[in-house]
Amino acid sequence: MSQPIDFYFDFSSPYGYLASEKIDGLAARFGRKVRWRPILLGVVFRQTGGAPLTRIPLKGEYSLHDFARSARFLGIPYAHPENFPLSTQQAARAYYWLHDQDCEAARAFAHAVFRSLYTEGRDVSEIDVVLAIAAEQKVDRTALAAALAGQALKDRLKAECEAAIARGVFGSPYIVVDGEPFFGADRLPQIERWLASGGF
Q: Taking residues 108-113, what's their average pLDDT?
A: 98
The pLDDT, as a whole number, for residue 160 is 98
Distance (Å, whole) CA 32 – CA 195: 9
Percent of the chain with pLDDT over 70: 100
Any alpha helices (H) in the chain, and if so which ranges?
Answer: 14-20, 23-28, 41-48, 59-74, 89-99, 103-120, 127-136, 141-149, 151-166, 188-197
Residues 6 or more apart in contact with residue 116 via CB below 8 angstroms: 122, 124, 129, 133
Angle at 16 between CA 64 and CA 37, to 5 degrees: 155
The pLDDT, as a whole number, for residue 13 is 98
Confidence band (pLDDT; 50, 70, 90) for 2? confident
Tens digits of residue pLDDT in 28-52? 999 999 999 999 999 999 999 999 9
All domains of the chain in start order, with CATH: 5-197 (3.40.30.10)
Q: What is the pTM of this model?
A: 0.96
